[in-house]
Structure 1
Amino acid sequence: MTESPSRSQLALAVLAATGLAALFAWVSWRLGTESALSRVFLPSGLVLVTTGTLALLWARAQGRARHEREAVLRTAGEASALREAVMDVTPVGFAFFDRDLRYVHVNAALAAMNGLPVSHHLGHHVTAVMPELGRLLAPRLQRALETDAPIQDTCLQVETPAAPGEPRVWFGSYSRVRGPGGEVLGVIAALSELTERMRAEQSLQEHEGRLDVLTRSLPDYLWGGKLRGGVLGDFYCTPVIERTTGYPASAFTRASSDGGPPPLWAEMIHPEDRARYRAAIEGLAPGAEVELEHRLICADGRVRWVRSRAAASAPDAQGELHVGCVVTDVTDRRLADDLRQRLHESFRRSAQEWRRTFDAVTSPLIVLGPDTTIQRLNAAGLALFDGLDPSGQPLPTAPMTPLRACALSLVEELRRTRGSATREVTDPRSHRTWEVSAAWVDEAGGEDSRIILVATEVTHLLELQASLRRNETMAVMGAIVAGVAHEVRNPLFSISAVVDAVDATFGQRAELTPYLDVLRGEVKRLNHLTQELFEYGRPTRGEWVEGPVRPVVEDALSACTLAGEQAGVAVVRELAPQLPPVRMDSRRLFHVFRNVVENAVQHSPPGSTVRVATEAVEEAGRAWVRCTVHDGGPGFREEDLPHVFEPFFSKRRGGTGLGLSIVQRILEEHQGLIRLRNSPEGGAEVTLLLPAVSSPPASQPVDSLAS
């Protein structure tokens, strides 16, 4: 393009043309008007002057046009910068696409919504930046290029890098953009995110649904409205009003002619309570509450007592108070109160008489509700809880008693069978035995039920029965085994003598040695059995002395040393240095300790330990000397524990089954007891208890655990 002449150049050209025109005019004047030269110079001068003037005017017009163009360009640049600034600060995402659907401009909001920088968009096709979003936008942008009408998309779901794995919901609007000449330049897209709003709407719908379910499930109905100048308006209520009053809920949706609540709202109030009710509701102060009981006249003519509890909010911007009220049917309670008043005195007199009779029962007696709540118990039952009255508490959470576990199992059985049951339970601490009986009792009409628990102590009875059985058995067995032992002893002596004679006659012959060893072993075993039978059948007599039991225990442990060494079992002594004296037959008591320790060694594997401990203890209000023997063997089988004290009961090969029977019998002679259990650390644990001489005799004999 040729550069336009400057204003100074045009002015110089006009001056030059004017000077030449003046020169031509002067020459023409000198030559005369009629000369040919004058006719040429004069028009030429006029042409030069005219041309210069026009050139000057054109130059001025060009200058103005240039200034206007620069102003327009400056304004356009400012407008573009302003447009881009507005697009960048708006929370709505904007993008401009050319006709090939390439990103030309993207504002910051859309880049943040996509989770990608602006530079990752520009110049790229819509499907190249975010393929999933591009596949959704491309057909919409293409349709927008084909029409001047905006295209809107109300629910566009897509996942973006800004929120991976979380579908986002967008609202999109797409419009075609034309140039000054009407040509299509591209499409501008406006995208706004609706995710949070839709979540809020969904949450609101869920809350409304829950509120509706809650209000319908309540036995009470609710109503509300606005107080304007002491007049209740905008009345609404929950559908539960139909259950209480019998009137349809639609009858409470029509306001009165003066704009107040529905006429039925006041008309169903009993006439004697109506004025008081309206004054209490319509006189509510901001933030105040009121509660009153009144009567309602239901649709079927029945009169119901209800309790209305209303509260008013603080005034809103229009000075109105929002009022809410909960209406509860209390008819049954009022009737029950009246009946309770009439029966209270009668019940009080009956209760006093019943309590005196109840407490006269010497056995613990407890009355439970069907939910195991303790309702009544007599004085003997109260003693089981150490004087603490557990009335009103569920039996599982009441203070611990020896009978609670048994009572709970009985109660659970009765709740299933609605019958009766009896159990026997022994307190492991006091060794008292109870017979617990329970019966399900239905009141008249079946509206109320009770569980009656009665506990009868049978400790002494069981001990007498067990002692009688043992004495009878031992008397018979003692006579039998003593006779058998006597008859067997002489043949055994002869057999032993013959074996010794054969050995002395034939000498150490190899072919006879195995047979002689077997004969000697069997003779030895039979001699041991005979000795056990003599001990079991021996009548009770001996030399009774009062003294320390530790020397007897030490002698028994020394006698077991060889057996422990042969078995590879270590016998550890944990003997208390000072123990109270006991009344004992030391020879028979030695047999007890030796028998128990040898039994522990025989049941312990090689390399294990047998611990023997003695100590003084207090139990059942009496002083005892306790000896505990703990082995490292497999322990007792649970099914064998009830039988271990039975004569000839043995699970060990070669055992006589009389060891523990003899131990139990000797301890009973000493008024002691024996307990067996499996230790939590493993192995069997045998506990021997001997009464100390300093303690008074027990009021009831203490039996062994197994018996």
Structure 2
Amino acid sequence: MAVESREGELHLASLHALFASELPVGLAVLDEELRYRHINTMLAEANGVSVQQHLGRTVREVLPAAAASLEPLLQEVLNTGQALRDFEVAAEVPSLPGELSEWLASYLPIADGAGRVVGVLVQALNRSLERRAERIKLESDQQLRRVLDSLFMFVGVLTPDGVLLEANRAPLEAGGVTLEQVRGLYVWDTPWWSADAANQEWLRGAVARAAQGETLRRDVVVRMAGDTRMEIDFMIAPLRDDSGRITHLIPSGIDISARRASEAALQTSEDRFRRVFEGATVGMGLVDQRGVIQLANESMAQLFGYARAELVGMEVHQLVPQRQREQHVSHLKQYMREPALRYMAKRQELYALRRDGSEFAVEIGLNPLPESAGQQVLATISDVTERRAAQAQIERALVEKTVLLNEVHHRVKNNLQVITSLLNLQGRNAEPAVQQALRDSQSRVRSMALMHQMLFERGDLSALELGPYLQRLCGLLRSTYLGESNSIALLVDVPEQGLRIDPQRAIPCGLLVTELVTNAFKHAFPGGRTGRVHVSLQRLAGERALLEVHDDGIGLPPEQTPGQGRSLGLQLLPLLAEQCRATLEIERAAGTRARLFVDMEGTAP
């Protein structure tokens, strides 16, 4: 956009409205001494100096490297009263130090009422900054495309009336189509949805409702490459601009075929458990935390001489001889406070009371079910004479428990991965501070998900090798915070085996390392400084290990202390150290060094 003016007739007072407007061209007014009297924001930013730092200062004072090129041209306009229009000039300015910027400029004389030239109106456009901005935008768009294409989720962009504009790589590859083949189609007419008219009709309505501001979610079956079918967790949500107007719709989906298979496997496992429970040759009963029998199998009924219906609702103490009943009540209360799989008769023989008043020696196995409604315990009761048969039943029950726990770890890991993906989507259009907080939350969730994933992969639910866990955790933190940057090096020195930690302490230990490493990434190297973060683990004398996180950055400020301050990470450090039975020490010399002395006692070798 150009500013038209008659030479010598432009008065300074008439420029105020122009300088207050958001014109896409830089404007400035210089007096006879080439001092800035007025300048708009666009030209000030292009020069790399604030508006206030321009006013009252000469061109040479503001732009010393460019003065030699600009002053002769400006002086020519002052001396001749002739305008210089649409000329190109190369000059170095603070916004691009060390290089010549290409400018398109016009210098117009400003005359007073008597026709005397009293200043120069400058119109300028920094083409170098424009090209850099265009290049940065292109790189940003390309990076966004790479991020979208790296997602395992199905993500797209629609117009408010349902026309597909963009889709990431995952649904395109899964569907066997290219973006060019589906772009511009109504989403319900794309190959994914074309196999089911009912789904198409639902999607039309969902698009209309999303365009009104609703977010809709549904499990649907869609067509994929080779005319195969995939069940996905589908969601469509509106995307609003800064004014709240809905500009696009965002459809997304997650393949839940594996989840459905897992649910079916879990249901099969539960059915198998039911069949085992009903068909067991030893007595089995489900007891709640009050000691009331909730469920009993036929073997238990025959063992005690009751009908199954009579046992349900009976206090379990009624099946214990009177002389042992008081002690049994005490044992049960203590057990319910800290329920665990164990044999109550491990060191002593217990006796049970039949309906007819006769006693018989029994062995009782207890298996808590913490996921049921309230605390419940599955009791396995057998006559001592059937010890071997009872032991086989207990072993089968343990196998079932292991399968269930393994499935739980797998599902928890999957759910945590979904949470991470949702946080990623939530932060995409959030404020920078919110994006940083969401990214930190993602790192914490990933550290927990990694523990469940490694337990599931290795098939050992009792303990975790701390070295490989830290190795993989640091790899996640490197990719999340550093990406392809080489300014900060993350070094990990941990043993492959020999330091095992139980799952209850692995999570706080991983969260603690996550907080220390991310804090170093974010605060130890300000202003683009280079540096190194070193994570190490070694065994000490006795049942102890030393875990260190050390950086060579600027060091933790003296006023910041773990457990205090507003930073969530610093507040969490002492609590996490306590949860993993460790002692935390912080040194501030030569950067920041955090030492974590972990008590490994009680962990399986």
TM-score band by shorter chain is 0.3 to 0.5
Which has the larger Rg?
1
The TM-score, its normalising length taken from structure 2, stands at 0.36
